[in-house]
Structure 1
Amino acid sequence: MLLSLLYNSGARIQEALDLCPGAIRFEAPYYVRLYGKGRKERICPLWPETVALMKKLLERQPRAPDERIFVNRYGEPLGASGVRFKLAAYVAAAAKTTPSLRLKHVTPHSFRHATAVHLVAAGVDITVIRSWLGHVSLDTTNHYAQANLETKRKALEQVGVPAEGNRPARWKRDADLLAWLDTL
């Protein structure tokens, strides 16, 4: 549930760990109220699937509206180090079927980063993403847009130029585009 929430909302780990049931809207439109750096409040939409998982968790482990949702095995509020420990175990288990995960450094912040990159890739306006992630500065959010351009440039480099005889009739090498990509 916690990992789903991290990706769905782009929450910082402490924002998610501080979450109480009273901060979640369980009826459509679904959302979560997060408190970020400086206790700044922001509202993030939630998928119905994330809300359903949250409902199941709260059915199994009921909480008062102002009580933290995520707790350790002793019933104490879960800490970021506990999340990192469990996440490392999940990644190690997943690496048995997906060996490339062994080369990845997956942290709770990786989910926030993935949310931002996927929102940029989906064409969401950068100011909306800034608000979604709770960034004070648009410069911080622009980092994700630039990273996405870099990913595209690297992808283009990996695509070989078709041999002269194998090029589709509409394919034309664009020198201006290639020159622009080299500036990135």
Structure 2
Amino acid sequence: MAQRVLAMPSKRYLRRPIDFLTPTEVAALLAAPDLNVWSGRRDRALLLLAVQTGLRASELLGLRCQDVVLGPGTHVRCQGKGRKVRNTLLRKETIAVLRTWLQERQGQASEPAFPTITGTVLSHDALQYLLNKHLAIARRHCTSSSGKRVTPHVLRHTLAMDLLHHGVDRSVIALWLGHESVETTSIYLQADMKLKEDALAKSPPLMPVT
């Protein structure tokens, strides 16, 4: 019986193309939060951090004030899959926004870095809600993202594709995202090839086809 089960061919699944945002779409999203209100300033800092670091939703929501290390070698520390801790460096513009936010936040070291209005940890549903809210605003100015289903994980894909387009090696991308295997990043190579195929299909032929 066991041999017959092992001999059964494995079922093949069609992997749908990954979604990610272009730089123009990212800029529109980051410009959407209303910086005149507390929640808007929180959301802008959270979304910028998500796009720049590629942290998983659970990693973002689990961040405490003490996990954003400002100073020499500024980085954000998170606990990912398998309870593995990794540090991710931050860009200058992200550092500036986070420093301003945490000064306003005035939280204790062990408190959530991006809390609800009542000070509790944001839920996954709340994260998706605020993302949807700002996407609706962003799409008024940048309609190209309208056909995309954008989740917090799409922001992670966005960072990976940006690194790939800037020539970063797959092994570095895997390390950055906390992947167990370099092979996991193959989905980004496939997505990149699809973009190039689409671009090639739209370009005029160099010579008549015989």
TM-score when scaled to structure 2?
0.74
1:63-78 equivalences in 2 (<5 Å):
63-78=107-122
In structure 1, distance between residues paired with 2:117 and 2:169: 41
Unaligned 5+ runs, structure 2: 1-44
1:108-123 equivalences in 2 (<5 Å):
108-123=152-167
The match for 1:80 is: 124
In the TM superposition, what is the alpha-carbon distance from 1:163 to its structure 2 partner? 5.9
The match for 1:149 is: 193
Contact 1:71–1:77 (8 Å) recurs in 2: yes
The match for 2:7 is: none
Name which of 37, 40, 51 aligns with 1:7. Answer: 51
In structure 2, distance between residues paired with 1:45 and 1:126: 18
Amino acid aligned to 1:151: L
- Structure possessing the higher relative contact order (Cα contacts under 8 Å, 6 or more residues apart): 2
1:21-170 equivalences in 2 (<5 Å):
21-162=65-206
Give CA deviations for 1:38-67 in whole Å, capped at 9, x if unaligned: 211111110121111111111111112222
Aligned residues: CA RMSD = 1.7
Unaligned 5+ runs, structure 1: 165-172, 174-184
Amino acid aligned to 1:70: F
Contact 1:42–1:131 (8 Å) recurs in 2: no
Range with greater deviation from structure 2 (53-62 or 9-18):
53-62
Range with greater deviation from structure 2 (126-135 or 101-110):
101-110
TM-score when scaled to structure 1?
0.83
In the TM superposition, what is the alpha-carbon distance from 1:24 to its structure 2 partner? 2.1
Runs ≥4 residues deviating over 3 A: none
User: How many aligned residue pairs are there?
Assistant: 165
